[in-house]
Amino acid sequence: MSVARGRVRPNRRTRRSRADNPMRGIVTGRADRITIYALLIVLAVLFAFPLYSAIVKSLEVNGIQNYISLFTDPVGDIPIWQTYLNSLAVGVVHATVVLTVSVTAGYAFSKLHFRGRELGFSAVLLFLAVPGIAILVPVYRITQELGLFNSYVGVGLPEAAITIPFGVLLMRNYGRNISDSLIEAANLDGAGHFRIFWNIFVPLSRPAIVNLTVLCFIWSLQDFLWPSFLFTNPSLTTAAQAVSTFSNALGRGAGDLARFNASLVVLAVPAVLFVVFGLRFIVNGLTTGSTKD
């Protein structure tokens, strides 16, 4: 801290910490912090209780054996590891398409100047209001014409179509936070758009790109609509579908209910791991660009 004219001025490190945490400008008092922490604790308990309840019920009968049997004795002839692989394959298609379109569009909307740029960006944002259920019939006809039923591409493309508007918004907002002086310096050195995009924009946008990648895989793991609509082969059952499949395959006895709850816990693990390992990037990707110097 430095002192000048009787006032205490924040040093560079303090100013940087405030910029990194936009909530510092809102949460100013002890009462505010106590209120926010109390709300966060309540929300954490509410969201964690279903998982806690599933874990407790999964251990009531046969204990840990319920988890082991999911891998050694498949429910409804569907190995649970196969549902993971199916969701992962769909997630790869989903993330690849979303990243390819969103990162390039984010660069164009944030760093290129062309007629109709803002109008085009507004048109992209309009698609955020389109729910997946509204395009069921067109997607069914397109998938049928292209012969993409029972294929990972057939499910990954509709998921990507729903996610791309959000991805473009995220990458455009993040791109606006990248200094234009870097682009101008590269132009003076004779760099073209492709080189600027690949060597400057993409490396500096890495937190947002990782954030978007994590979200794509999480949403693919949680998606029930498109796999149920476009997959008819039981071997292509995804993790989200497996919950319904296991519920129908198992009985209503105490042992079956315990095993079903064990399957819920196991199927939730990948999404939890994605969130835990990608949390830092998710927070950075969503808050960067929310403040200006």
Question: What DSSP assignment string belongs to 231-277?
Answer: ---GGG--HHHHHHHHHHHS-SSHHHHHHHHHHHHHHHHHHHHHHHH
- pLDDT-derived band of residue 24, with 50, 70 and 90 as boundaries? low
pLDDT at 172: 95
Six token digits for residue 272: 């939890």
Statement: residue 5 has pLDDT above 90? no
The tens digit of pLDDT for each residue in 133-153 reads: 889 999 999 999 999 999 999
Q: What are the domain boundaries of the chain?
A: 11-58, 65-287
Note the CATH number of domain 65-287. Answer: 1.10.3720.10
Tens of pLDDT, residues 69-120: 888 887 777 888 899 999 999 999 999 999 999 999 999 999 998 999 999 9
Give, to the nearest 10 degrees, the angle between helix 254-287 and helix 152-176.
30
Contacts of 19 (CB under 8 A, 6+ apart): 291, 293
pLDDT tens for residues 231-265?
Answer: 989 889 998 898 888 888 777 788 888 888 988 88
**Residue 67 burial by Cβ neighbours in a 10 Å radius (0-12, 13-18, 19+):** middle
Contacts of residue 252, Cβ cutoff 8 Å, sequence gap at least 6: none
Query: So what's the pLDDT on residue 7?
Result: 47
Q: What is the pLDDT of residue 30?
A: 79
pTM, two decimal places: 0.79
- Terminal Cα-to-Cα distance of the chain (whole angstroms): 20
In eight-state DSSP terms, residue 134 is: G
Q: What does the angle CA 77 – CA 93 – CA 270 come to, to the nearest 5 degrees?
A: 55
